[in-house]
């Protein structure tokens, strides 16, 4: 690998002992400790709040035009928090000239499917009810949060709500059947995720429920009638095919979709924009996309 910064990052990810198949309690603590080590820009104004009864973190960026990125964090529906993802959400919002709201949707196994979808929908409806027009709202999310973006959009579409202006999906986990070919094909390359971890999270979230149902696996759903989507994914991810499937389904349904596969980059590489130039460039591209429709 010719890029020393990327090589260092991948080596660090390989050395990380976080295993999504571990017990959720200790895993959540370790995950929060990892994110606490990431820098948070001093010019972000961060405040705990709530949307529709869902705890959230408000992130205001300098120069915002008043639009809002409603951000759904990753973590396999089992771990992660709004606080942990405040920096990533804030940088997405900054790049778009918007502010962010990061929601603390309920986590499995204590709160299985569809609790996360219900919370995402409730938060959006509360944001609209508070006076932010749908035209000024963009959804964004990474990993499981990327799948949740799609699930919330499908629920809102089917319920007849006016949809947000655009959405960003970062390395989305959007097929919880865990049968996509890239899960095996990319297993040796991916330094972050394993099939065992995905299977454990899917079991926590869905129990014995149908993993192929649309709001659990939106990569298998009818994705027509959605706002413009930007899908960004790294080429070495076991979830590569989830991103490809989402783009194909959305395009087949007549939804405007842009797919970016970033060569040699790992799962949710955007979180490392503080050290990785390719990640910063991807954030800038994402911001330009969202601003075109929502800012």
Is-contact 264 1, C-beta < 8 A? yes
Q: What is the DSSP letter of 191?
A: S
Is 143 assigned a catalytic role?
Answer: yes
Instruction: Please state whether beta strands 45-51 and 54-60 pair in parallel, antiparallel, or not at all (unpaired).
Output: antiparallel
CATH of domain 4-293: 3.40.50.1820
**Of 155, 197, 194, 148, nearest in space to 169 by CA:** 148
pLDDT along the chain (295 residues), means of 10: 89 92 95 94 98 98 96 98 98 98 98 98 98 98 98 98 98 98 98 97 97 98 98 98 98 98 98 97 98 90
Q: Which helix (H) or strand (E) holds 260?
A: strand 257-262
Q: Which residue out of 143, 171, 192, 217 is catalytically annotated?
A: 143
At 166 the pLDDT is 98
At 1 the pLDDT is 47
DSSP result, 62-78:
TT--S-EEEEE--STTT
Look up the pTM and report it. 0.98
Is 73 assigned a catalytic role?
Answer: no
Q: Which residues contact 177 (CB under 8 A, 6 or more apart)?
A: 202, 211, 212, 217, 220
Q: How far apart are CA 275 and CA 295, in angstroms?
A: 27
Q: Which residue out of 73, 171, 237, 262 is catalytically annotated?
A: 237
DSSP result, 73-140:
--STTTS--TTTTHHHHHHHHHHHT-EEEEE----TTTS-TTHHHHHHHHHHHHHHHTT--GGGEEEE
Q: How far apart are CA 116 and CA 146, in angstroms?
A: 12
Q: How far apart are CA 67 and CA 157, in angstroms?
A: 21
Instruction: Please state whether beta strands 45-51 and 257-262 pair in parallel, antiparallel, or not at all (unpaired).
Output: unpaired
Q: Which residue out of 73, 204, 262, 267 is catalytically annotated?
A: 267
At 120 the pLDDT is 99
Is 32 assigned a catalytic role?
Answer: no
Q: How far apart are CA 69 and CA 159, in angstroms?
A: 21
The interaxial angle of helices 115-129 and 144-159, nearest 10 deg, is: 60
């Amino acid at each position: 690998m010719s890029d020393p910064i990327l090589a260092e990052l991948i080596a660090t990810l390989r050395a990380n002992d976080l295993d999504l198949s571990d017990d959720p309690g200790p895993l959540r603590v370790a995950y929060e400790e990892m994110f606490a080590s990431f820098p948070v820009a001093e010019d972000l104004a961060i405040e705990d709040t709530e949307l529709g009864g869902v705890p959230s973190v408000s992130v205001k960026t300098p120069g915002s035009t008043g639009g809002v990125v409603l951000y759904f964090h990753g973590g396999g529906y089992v771990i992660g928090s709004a606080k942990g993802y405040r920096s990533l959400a804030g940088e997405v919002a900054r790049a778009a000239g918007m502010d962010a709201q990061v929601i603390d949707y309920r986590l499995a196994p204590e709160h299985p499917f569809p609790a996360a979808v219900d919370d995402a929908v409730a938060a959006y409806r509360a944001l609209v009810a508070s006076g932010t027009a749908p035209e000024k709202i963009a959804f964004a999310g990474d990993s499981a949060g990327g799948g949740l973006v799609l699930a919330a959009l499908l629920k809102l579409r089917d319920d007849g709500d006016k949809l947000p202006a655009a959405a960003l999906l970062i390395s989305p986990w959007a097929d919880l059947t865990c049968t996509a070919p890239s899960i095996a094909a990319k297993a040796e390359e991916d330094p972050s995720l394993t099939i065992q971890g995905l299977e454990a999270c899917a079991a926590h979230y869905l129990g014995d429920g149908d993993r192929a149902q649309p709001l659990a696996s939106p990569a298998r759903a009818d994705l027509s009638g959605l706002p413009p989507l930007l899908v960004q994914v790294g080429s070495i991810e076991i979830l590569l095919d989830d991103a490809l499937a989402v783009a194909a389904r959305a395009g087949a349904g007549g939804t405007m979709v842009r797919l970016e596969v970033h060569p040699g980059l790992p799962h949710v590489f955007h979180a490392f924009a503080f050290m990785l130039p390719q990640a910063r460039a991807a954030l800038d591209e994402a911001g330009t996309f969202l601003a075109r429709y929502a800012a």
